[in-house]
Structure 1
Amino acid sequence: MLLTKSPPIRKEQSSSFRGALRASGVMAFAGLGDAVLYPVLPIYGKELGFSVFFIGVLLSVNRFVRIIANTSIANWVHQIGIRKMLIITATLATLTTFLYGLKLGLISFLLARIFWGLSYSGLKTSTLCYASQAKEKSGLVFGLSQSIKSLGALFVLWFGPIVIGEFGIQNGLFSIASISLLGILLAYSLPKIEPKAKDEVVKTSLTFYPNTINLLVFIVSVSIDGILVVSLSYLLSGNMVNSNELLGYVAFYLLLKRLFTLLFSIIGGVLSIRFRPLFLFSISISICLLAMALIAFDITILGIILAFLFNTIVVTFSPLIAIKNSQNKDNSLQAISSVSTWWDIGAAVGAFIGIYAIEFIGIQNLYLSLCITGTILFINFSIKNAKSSRSTI
């Protein structure tokens, strides 16, 4: 059945609910420094002494760090607790933003980006772990959590360029880092809820195991968070008359992507009160695949909008689906680490191969291939999930 009846949140669940939302607020504050670099570093990078090549390295190295670090970070959360991990990583994230503004050179900036990658891994794992503790209305909790996390990026994409343009990149980054300090204070207010699987550890072999949910998440991440993001200029260039107009449109669609995260994560969470998260997840995957087909057949604008919109639902519910499909449902850290790692791998691979793939096989063939591959993996996921559901009846 698609409809579910969900009881109201009991008093004993309220601590988990509050913890999940506050933890998302911590991540929103901690991520201000990273979010502002993407529009700012390509413009001010030369002022800081970085070449175009190293600007690309600095913007991407944190994602590769996360791929390597997710399993170890999850085990650290298991050892020291969720709240302590959020306090540590929020503090480290704030320090990295201060380091960005110190103009200490490439090596120092690179180290700051590596430490930010570690911080992000801890922040994301801990935030999802808080959300997983809320057993009632879990879809709503994951939706609200995802939406709150996006608020920081939306704020700094508006505020950051203004303050940096007015006071310079150094003072601007110091101001943004000062705001991030609020995340540390918020982390201290978190309830002390710890992972329940005290006797379980997160295993690297399981994190990188290509099960059905991991492969499905991987292809969606490759397609939308990787290839689609880096190929927007190619897809939109046919309708533009000059580079300034093209830049404006690309920026608009990237901002639209973040707005979708803010709005539709909440909508998806509310819908999950009435519909099962797996149903919403499956519908969203189907529409993402349809979006790839639309782009392949040159229905570009509609394809981009549908991909960004429904990818929001996929991102929101994929950790919850991974936990519920895990063989060991008591060890949510393993499922969170695994699905997060495969999403990071997909986004990194997609961003890396996107432009080369377009040059090699063309945009239409590329997106058609993504649609076909994703459809096969989605059918495989659905079959395996149906078998698993029947075996538990």
Structure 2
Amino acid sequence: MSPTKEQKKAVTVVSLITALCLLGDSMLYVALPIYYQQVGLASLWEVGLILSINRFIRIPVNPIVGWAYRKLSLRVGLVISVILAVITTIGYGVGYGLVIWLVLRILWGIAWSFLRLGGFLLVVGISNDSNRGENIGRYNGLYRLGSLGGMLGGGILAAVIGFEWTAILFGISMLAGIPIVLHAIPKNVLTTSTDEPMIKQPNIKMKPAHKTVAVILSGMVIAFLIQGVFSSSISLVMADHFGDELFLIGLTVGVTALAGILQGVRWLWEPYLAKKFGEWSDGDRGRLPLYIGSLIVSMIGFLLIPIQFSIFIWVGLALILMTASTALTTIGDALTADVAKSGDANRVLTIYTVFLDVGAALGPLFIYGSLSIGLSLQQAFSLSAALFLLLVVYWVVAYRKVDFVY
């Protein structure tokens, strides 16, 4: 059964509010490495710290936000997140110096925890077994438009009107999110229902606690590999293969620019593909066949990405890998929502977000740590592919234990 109009509206509103709040954060990834001296940062290592501290702070903050959502309505939590996003984004335009920027990024980490967990709780609360994947896909796909808008729009505006005014403009635009939340999100949204029977997903012959551990650990490993290892090293791999600049179709293109375009293409297709992957996983065949197939494609992709092909073949492989990544992220979230719906949704989703952040934070440390001790890119990616293989083996065994179609 497809989501109702009311469900689609609620998911769409929360997704677009999240996208709006992401504008400032995403803008930093393309603009701050260029304009960092204007805001009082002394070196690029400080830029790296600024861009990563918000993720590390979420590890201890997520449980606190989960507790807060037991006391507060979803609407209040989202208003808090929008206010924090406005403060931090305007702060990017007026703040100066490392200490101020660390405070701003810590506040953004708190804002993102409220946004992400609130969105998860909303989707779990209003969905059932026949449309949960589609709602997860709609949410994931739409909120990533904020990343696309922040990187593209932020990069262009920073060059035209300046970094500071771009941040202030984005921050002011986020104020529109407050009345939208108050108008479109009801006071009471079901977020912790435990009385809906599990009709189809996931019906594996293992204890509920084992299911929960399995999907959470799998999500952490996938975040480690995709958001951590691949996303943080794609420019490095391209530079290793093709140098710092490429000559394509009569134009000279920087590797970092091309890497950014590739990431932007993924965010452009996510509103459609993430929803479709979620919808397909809601079907009669269930989630696991598509999940396992995406794991296999990702494993092969990690083995091939470090190998030097022509630029067109390599970009094609990268796009296939990113398509599989969209599927894995969407279906992994849907699997977690499945087990969360049958228990304490707040607790399960809080733990899940913590483990996702841990995995994503450890990925860059692994890839660059491996290279620093003398491993090659091929060796580091082969080790990563081995983790995909372990996931494939585990979920194939789980699929064989299903009572009926998963």
Q: Give the TM-score normalised by the residue count of structure 2.
A: 0.84
In 1, Cα distance between the equivalents of 2:321 and 2:354? 21
Residues 1:384 and 1:60: Cα distance change in structure 2 (over 3 Å): same
Match of 1:195 among 191, 194, 197: 191
Letter in 2 for 1:124: R
Q: Does 1:17 align with 2:47?
A: no
In 2, Cα distance between the equivalents of 1:257 and 1:141? 19
Per-residue CA deviations over 1:130-151 (Å, capped at 9, x if unaligned) read 1112214111111111111011
Per-residue CA deviations over 1:208-228 (Å, capped at 9, x if unaligned) read x99322232222222221111
| 239-248 vs 301-310, which moves further | 239-248
Q: State how 1:1-393 maps to structure 2 within 5 Å.
A: 7-9=1-3, 14-50=5-41, 51-133=43-125, 134-135=127-128, 136-188=130-182, 189-191=184-186, 192-197=188-193, 211-243=213-245, 245-274=254-283, 275-298=285-308, 300-325=314-339, 329-359=342-372, 360-384=374-398, 386-387=400-401, 389-390=402-403
Letter in 1 for 2:148: L
**Secondary structure at 1:280 match in 2:** helix
In 2, Cα distance between the equivalents of 1:183 and 1:222? 31
In 2, Cα distance between the equivalents of 1:392 and 1:156? 41
In 2, Cα distance between the equivalents of 1:342 and 1:287? 23
Are 2:132 and 2:337, in contact at CA under 8 Å, matched by a contact in 1?
no
1:371, distance to aligned residue in structure 2 (A): 1.2
Residues 1:117 and 1:33: Cα distance change in structure 2 (over 3 Å): same
**Secondary structure at 1:352 match in 2:** helix
Are 1:319 and 1:336, in contact at CA under 8 Å, matched by a contact in 2?
no
- % identity of equivalent residues: 20
In 2, Cα distance between the equivalents of 1:320 and 1:247? 33
| 270-279 vs 369-378, which moves further | 270-279
1:374, distance to aligned residue in structure 2 (A): 2.1
1:310, distance to aligned residue in structure 2 (A): 1.1
Are 1:154 and 1:258, in contact at CA under 8 Å, matched by a contact in 2?
yes
1:197, distance to aligned residue in structure 2 (A): 4.8
1:111, distance to aligned residue in structure 2 (A): 0.6
Residues 1:196 and 1:336: Cα distance change in structure 2 (over 3 Å): closer
Are 2:31 and 2:155, in contact at CA under 8 Å, matched by a contact in 1?
yes
Are 2:212 and 2:336, in contact at CA under 8 Å, matched by a contact in 1?
no
Are 1:219 and 1:370, in contact at CA under 8 Å, matched by a contact in 2?
no
1:182, distance to aligned residue in structure 2 (A): 1.8
**Secondary structure at 1:231 match in 2:** helix
Letter in 1 for 2:260: A
Unaligned runs of 5+ in 1: 1-6, 199-205
In 2, Cα distance between the equivalents of 1:336 and 1:307? 26
Residue 204 of structure 2 aligns with which residue? Answer: none
Residues 1:79 and 1:228: Cα distance change in structure 2 (over 3 Å): same
Are 1:132 and 1:332, in contact at CA under 8 Å, matched by a contact in 2?
yes
Per-residue CA deviations over 1:273-301 (Å, capped at 9, x if unaligned) read 53523333232222112211222555644
Unaligned runs of 5+ in 2: 195-207, 246-252
**Secondary structure at 1:144 match in 2:** helix
In 1, Cα distance between the equivalents of 2:109 and 2:400? 36
Are 2:40 and 2:96, in contact at CA under 8 Å, matched by a contact in 1?
no
Residues 1:59 and 1:151: Cα distance change in structure 2 (over 3 Å): same
In 2, Cα distance between the equivalents of 1:212 and 1:181? 39
1:363, distance to aligned residue in structure 2 (A): 0.9
**Secondary structure at 1:34 match in 2:** helix
Residues 1:73 and 1:385: Cα distance change in structure 2 (over 3 Å): farther
In 1, Cα distance between the equivalents of 2:261 and 2:123? 31
In 1, Cα distance between the equivalents of 2:64 and 2:279? 33
Per-residue CA deviations over 1:329-384 (Å, capped at 9, x if unaligned) read 13222222222222211111112232221342111111111111221133224434
Letter in 2 for 1:348: A
Are 1:44 and 1:169, in contact at CA under 8 Å, matched by a contact in 2?
yes
Are 1:30 and 1:93, in contact at CA under 8 Å, matched by a contact in 2?
yes
In 1, Cα distance between the equivalents of 2:220 and 2:330? 15
Residue 200 of structure 2 aligns with which residue? Answer: none
Are 1:294 and 1:302, in contact at CA under 8 Å, matched by a contact in 2?
no
Letter in 1 for 2:363: G
Letter in 2 for 1:278: L
In 1, Cα distance between the equivalents of 2:160 and 2:387? 48
